[in-house]
Amino acid sequence: MTKESKFEDQVLNCKDCGDKFIWTEGEQQFYYDKGLKNIPKRCKPCAEKFKSELREKHPMQWIKCKKCHKKAEVPFEPKSEDTLCEECFNKEIEKRNRKIIESGLQLPQ
């Protein structure tokens, strides 16, 4: 028996190049699972180009994660020792989102 998804592939237009791209059912499920509200605005090549340009403007900095103590790169200059790696940061956001939902409130936009 297959589990029916509440998502369907969607055709979107890239805001940079204007090409159409498919936002797949699986990608939508990922967004939903992570609590992400905004749909993608760029196709994958344009998104990568945009991220690359951002990295050029904001060089990566090395930190030691406050939680897992691993060395990691972040796209900002840390102002304190309380910085988390991306993985630990995402776990903290998921934990926060679960608490919000369990309390009957809506997730922040």
pTM of the model: 0.51
Domain count, the chain: 1
34 is a domain residue: yes
The boundaries of the domain holding residue 66 are: 10-102
Could you list the mean pLDDT of each consecutive 10-residue stretch along the chain, which spans 109 residues?
Answer: 74 96 93 89 95 82 94 88 91 90 81
First-last CA distance in the chain: 35
76 is a domain residue: yes
62 is a domain residue: yes
> How far apart (Å, rounded) are the C-alpha atoms in residues 31 and 91?
15
87 is a domain residue: yes
107 is a domain residue: no
1 is a domain residue: no
108 is a domain residue: no
80 is a domain residue: yes
| Structure token pair of residue 73 | 């790169």
